Amino acid sequence: MERSSLATGAAVLAIIGALWTADLFLARTENRETREEAERAYETGTRLLKANLPGEAVDQFRKAYALDRENPRYQLQLAAGLIAAGKTGEAETMLSDILALSPNNGEANLLEARLMAREGKAADATSYYHRAIYGIWNIDALSRRVQVRLELADFLARTGSDKELLAELLPLETEAHDLATRKQVAHLYLLANSPARSAALYRTLIREDPRDKSDYAGLGEAELVLGSYRTAEMAFRSAGAEDRAELAQHVAALDPTPRNLSAADKTERSIDVLRAVREALARCAADDPKLTQADELLSKKIRTATNAEAEDRLDLAAELWDERTQRCGASSSPDEEALRLVMAKLANR
């Protein structure tokens, strides 16, 4: 009887063990299938987001996050989708929860920066971009930091000051090793009002790959701003940008600042500059009293060309250009680009 009881107990235990094993197997299978389904939804959402379909992407990210809340990628990508879909309130709540638990999360800080930028909060956006740069990244941290700093530089080029932009470009030039990023940095230096650094980086890029005409074009734009018009012309011709080369040639012919100009040539060019500025002002403010002042000086006969005569006309041209800017706004006319460049060079003498 005792042996029978023992046998029965062993059988029951065996059955319980078998059922437990079966339940465990089924649970693991179900969990695996659930994770696989979540990953499929995540991948589908990612493709939809890249296809600029944020509404549909959000639905897939919600599904992925609902199926597997332990995977942080799903929550972060859901926040990214919400921002893209314009659902900023929900995105803000979700990012606040993430950052409360993980304040140094690089991806979350980047998304918060984008959200602040979208809402026009430039100072907050810049702060979160910096937190992202110096935050924690699980994969390819150095590359991601470079990408974030470049995104911040692009943002500052649109909204920030020259000094703020330059402060990001200096470390970016050191950290970035891929060609595409270095090209962007060279262009952004120009936007940061640092044409000398732009020209230097373009020259480095040209030495590394002399066949890339876009670098010659970039160098030409930097040299134009620097006032090195002949050098700009040569760079544009190397780039095959004949229209820009002709512009540089025209500016060089108008420029009254070269030291090797004779007094007669400088005076003649100063008259041409004054006349061009007078016409630019007249086009948008025909009633301006300074036009009469310009007409009087332009009609005055010069017996002996001197540096003083030239400077008198250039000083009045600068006054008229300032007047034009105040009354009509900054000039954006392509026809006046040569004049804008000359007047900028005169202002920086």
Tell whether 78 and 109 lie within a shared domain. Answer: yes
Contacts of 344 (CB under 8 A, 6+ apart): 225
Tell me, yes or no, whether 270 lies in a domain: yes
Tell whether 68 and 96 lie within a shared domain. Answer: yes
Tell me, yes or no, whether 174 lies in a domain: no
The closest alpha carbon to 94, from 117, 74, 121, 118, belongs to 74
Q: Given a cut of 80, is residue 21 above it in pLDDT?
A: no
Tell whether 216 and 232 lie within a shared domain. Answer: yes
Residue 121 sits in a domain whose CATH number is 1.25.40.10
* Overall domain count for the chain: 3
Tell whether 284 and 233 lie within a shared domain. Answer: no
Tell whether 208 and 269 lie within a shared domain. Answer: no
Tell whether 267 and 312 lie within a shared domain. Answer: yes
Provide the residue range defining the domain that includes 43: 34-138
Q: Which two tokens stand for residue 325?
A: 């800017």
Q: Which of 227, 254, 281 is the last residue of a domain?
A: 254
Tell me, yes or no, whether 272 lies in a domain: yes
Tell me, yes or no, whether 51 lies in a domain: yes
Q: Which of 94, 111, 138 is the last residue of a domain?
A: 138
**Confidence at residue 27, expressed as pLDDT on a 0 to 100 scale:** 47
pLDDT tens digits for range 52-70: 998 899 999 998 988 888 8
Confidence class of residue 274 from pLDDT cuts 50, 70 and 90?
Answer: very high
Tell whether 40 and 133 lie within a shared domain. Answer: yes
For the chain, the farthest-separated pair of C-alpha atoms sits apart, in whole angstroms, at: 140
**Confidence at residue 167, expressed as pLDDT on a 0 to 100 scale:** 96
Distance CA 289, CA 312 (A): 18
Reduced to 3 states (helix: H, G, I; strand: E, B; else coil), residue 190 is helix
Distance CA 304, CA 307 (A): 10
Highest mean pLDDT, choosing among 2-6, 25-29, 64-68, 147-151: 147-151
**Confidence at residue 6, expressed as pLDDT on a 0 to 100 scale:** 59
Give 3-state DSSP helix, strand, coil % of the chain, rounded to 5. 80, 0, 20
